[in-house]
Amino acid sequence: MTSRNPALSAIAPALATPLPRVLRPQRAVPADAVRPTRAEVNLANLRHNLRVMQRAAGGRPVWAVLKADGYGHGAKAVARTLERAGAQGMCVALLEEGIELRDAGIKLPILVTGGYYGRAWGELLRHDLTPVLHDPGQVELLADEVRFSGAEPMRAHVKIDTGMSRLGMSHAELPRLAEALTRHPEVKLEGLMTHFACADAGETPSIEAQLDRFDEATAVLARLGIVPALRHAANSAAVLRSERAWLDLVRPGIALFGVEPKAGLCRELRPVMRVRTEIVALRELPVGATAGYGGTWVARRPTRIATVPIGYADGLVRALSNQGALLVRGKRAPIAGAVSMDMTMLDVTDVEGVRLGDECCVLGTQKGPLGEDTISVSEMAAELHTIPWEVMTNVSRRVPRFYREP
């Protein structure tokens, strides 16, 4: 059959063998080419910590706090594990975090505590997320969305400011809140909550003072005809320090991931995350040679330097330059020079038998031929003059999470 297009007819002899209509799939990247840096998440330890917190709270329902991608552990996998293990609710900070859990198949109640919903009130309804309101005006905004959507009355929790001074309604705003709830039956007050400012501090008077204010606010609302089904206040530290704070449910976060909110509060907890990488290069440096950006590390003896593929973009923060350490063969190897974005160098001169491919433990425990040691989240936080929460959430999403059972 002759083509009607003269231009195509002219090149037809060159196309005697027709081009394939379907492109051949590219080969997957070989596993051996993937960077060996990863975070290992122990799901058995996560379940253990949930049981510890359930016992510590006298059997109160546990609503797990999974904000910031599950404290850096991967919110979706953590949420699925905790749902199957007996958690009775989830708490997140952001609307999009709640949507992510719903998309992952989580059926439990999800409380969005961050308080800002802009023009996204409809997303709360579409994904069956429970908002936390912190201003009386938000009742009307939510009610308008419920009416517009033709939905059933929407559950909501209200935050009372008892001393955190961040979000929450003051005592002076409670009459306005009660009036708004009475006027808008589209919004059903399910819960009343507050948040402790100093639960992990040395003494407990601040917990008692905030609970006193919370009880006062509850009584004021009751006199105005508003009685929520649930009241809650206890974060990890308050669960472990104040039976009075347990109320109707508890909201532990960091304890679920195996970190004590204050040293000595609960030694039963087991760490859930371990971060590891491997040595990808070794070199010998003479006396006087420098290492890293800025030449801040200088060899004072013939030195063996190992390079590992992890840097501050992964969560090994730059402040550890020339002062932190990683574990190699069960022994500490000091960081040599500045931590760069993707790589870090270690002084492994005193690590006998070190070779390419040796595992380096960034966070967690390592058993090796030279011994056993642990770099805990709390230890790294102390070295950085920060808090364990920041250390865990610094582990970025470009570090793949591997979930394992023992």
Task: Please state, in angstroms and as integers, the Cα–Cα distance from residue 377 to each residue in 31, 387, 404, following that order.
Answer: 29, 9, 20
Backbone angles phi, psi at 93, to 5 degrees: -95, -35
Answer whether 0.85 is exceeded by the pTM. Answer: yes
Per-residue pLDDT of the chain (406 residues; tens, 9 = 90+): 444 554 444 444 444 556 556 656 555 555 665 899 999 999 999 999 999 999 999 999 999 999 999 999 999 999 999 999 999 999 999 999 999 999 999 999 999 999 888 889 999 999 999 999 999 999 999 999 999 999 999 999 999 999 999 999 999 999 999 999 999 999 999 999 999 999 988 667 899 999 999 999 999 999 999 999 999 999 999 999 999 999 999 999 999 999 999 999 999 999 999 999 999 999 999 999 999 999 999 999 999 999 999 999 999 999 999 999 999 999 999 999 999 999 999 999 999 999 999 999 999 999 999 999 999 999 999 999 999 999 999 999 999 999 998 7
Give the whole-angstrom CA distance, residue 252 versus residue 234: 7
Give the whole-angstrom CA distance, residue 256 versus residue 272: 8
What is the overall mean pLDDT for the chain?
93
* CB 326, CB 308: distance < 8 Å: yes
Judged by DSSP in three states, 104 sits in: coil
Task: Please state, in angstroms and as integers, the Cα–Cα distance from residue 6 to each residue in 13, 79, 125, 230, 297, following that order.
Answer: 13, 64, 61, 80, 72
Give the whole-angstrom CA distance, residue 289 versus residue 301: 9
Residue 107 annotated to the active site: no
Report the greatest alpha carbon distance in the chain. 93
Check: CATH 3.20.20.10 for 43-257? yes
Residue 293 annotated to the active site: yes
Identify residue 156 by its one-letter amino acid code: A
The CATH number assigned to the domain with range 273-404 reads: 2.40.37.10
Task: Please state, in angstroms and as integers, the Cα–Cα distance from residue 143 to each residue in 158, 180, 364, following that order.
Answer: 14, 10, 48
**Which residue in 67, 71, 159, 312 is the catalytic one?**
67
Give the whole-angstrom CA distance, residue 264 versus residue 259: 11
* Tokens linked to 354: 């070190």
Where do we find the tokens 């949930």? 50
Task: Please state, in angstroms and as integers, the Cα–Cα distance from residue 328 to each residue in 77, 197, 307, 400, following that order.
Answer: 29, 39, 12, 21
**Residues 87-128: pLDDT tens digits?**
999 999 999 999 999 999 999 999 999 988 888 999 999 999
**Which residue in 71, 107, 293, 403 is the catalytic one?**
293
Res 9: pLDDT = 47
Res 275: pLDDT = 98
Res 27: pLDDT = 56
* Tokens linked to 334: 């000091």
Give me the residue spans of the domains in the chain: 43-257, 273-404
